Structure 1
């Protein structure tokens, strides 16, 4: 069954998952290493599908979607371990982008900076 979850619900679900293990959350440095690894795997998939580097015949099939999911999962873990509410962060960032970058690129509605 497909479900739509808020970032807060996703963070809570990941927290419940991590708390079932004795190791719990790893250090921020270990998490950063894992996030870097996952972003590298995402880059590799992007390169296979949209770049000039085809997959080797013996490489396991993976998808950009799968790798983005891994990046999201590790991001949720990192945010939880650092007590960061990603919904609040997202809202602040969107406010910043909507103010700072509102006219940075050519708009479809033709509006220009006042």
Structure 2
């Protein structure tokens, strides 16, 4: 496998892994709970690295990459369990955001032009 996976390859890899087990995918409610747990763990690590809450000396060091990876795995499992193509879901979301928010933020070129005139 190459270093960079497509979302389709990620979904297929997760499906191959989950399909080995009789239990299969968890129910949507359980998947949502797992997603919440993983996002919470990511939030905790972000708070330790960038926030005001230092780790306890007894706490295990975890990387943000590891926590992001856990979120992606659970998200991919959740999408698979509902037969959702993540590429299609992402494309729809980006189209919506690119349309809705196209004039919401200051574009880098506008900021550069403003800096040059001042």
Q: Could you tell me the TM-score, scaled by structure 2's length?
A: 0.90
CA distance in 2, matches of 1:7, 1:53: 34
User: Residue 57 of structure 1 corresponds to which residue in structure 2?
Assistant: 57
Distance 1:45 1:2, change over 3 A: farther
The Cα offsets for residues 62-114 of structure 1, whole Å up to 9 and x where unpaired, read as: 01111011000000000000000000011111111111111111111229xxx
CA distance in 1, matches of 2:11, 2:103: 33
User: Residue 25 of structure 1 corresponds to which residue in structure 2?
Assistant: 25
User: Residue 99 of structure 1 corresponds to which residue in structure 2?
Assistant: 99
RMSD of aligned alpha carbons:
1.4
Q: Could you tell me the TM-score, scaled by structure 1's length?
A: 0.93
SS in 1 for 2:110: coil
Q: Bigger radius of gyration, 1 or 2?
A: 2
Report matched runs for 1:84-95 at 5 Å. Answer: 84-95=84-95
Q: CA deviation at 1:2?
A: 5.8
CA distance in 1, matches of 2:97, 2:36: 24
SS in 1 for 2:108: coil
Unaligned ranges ≥5, structure 1: none
Unaligned ranges ≥5, structure 2: 112-118
**Structure 1 runs of 4+ with >4 Å offset:** none
